[in-house]
Amino acid sequence: MTSSSKTAPARFKDLCLDARDHQALADWWCAAMGYVRREGEGPAGEPVAIVDAAGGGPLIWVCPVPEGKVVKNRMHIDVYGDVERLRGLGARVVAEPDVEKGVPWHVMQDPEGNEFCVFVPPAA
């Protein structure tokens, strides 16, 4: 038995999202997801932590980086939401649903081009 098999598996902690204008993108995701900035934020050049105001979602760090997004995300966020509301906030639709191919979601990009998928909320 190796030492790695004796330890607990990794478990989910936070999400991190890179952004050229991390302050503006943190505000965008707050508006889009009903999140708020976590109290006690550090200096302007430091990552911004945003949290679900209702207490249900994961903590998201919006981290400053000098470069813009160039290629497709290798990992992305899936959300339940209203495509038109998100579009009104500045998101862009990059792929429409294709139910015939088993794709019932929209693929969108936030204002800095990070892809995320939007699903119709489940019936209440």
Segments making up each domain of the chain, as ranges:
12-67, 75-124
Burial of 48: CB neighbours in 10 Å, binned 0-12, 13-18, 19+: buried
Give the global pTM.
0.87
Question: Can you identify the CATH homologous superfamily of domain 75-124?
Answer: 2,3-Dihydroxybiphenyl 1,2-Dioxygenase, domain 1 (3.10.180.10)
Kindly give, in sequence order, each residue whose CB lies less than 8 Å from that of residue 55, ignoring residues fewer than 6 positions away.
none
Average pLDDT, stretch 48-61? 95
Q: Tell me the chain's radius of gyration from C-alpha atoms.
A: 17
Angstrom distance (rounded) from CA 109 to CA 123 = 25
Average pLDDT, stretch 11-27? 95
44 vs 70 pLDDT, higher one: 70
pLDDT at 119 over 70: yes
Least reliable range by pLDDT among 13-22, 69-78, 107-116: 69-78
Residue given tokens 């509301």 in the structure block: 85
Can you name the CATH fold of 12-67?
Answer: 3.30.720
pLDDT at 2 over 60: no
Q: What proportion of the chain, given as a percentage, has pLDDT over 90? A: 78
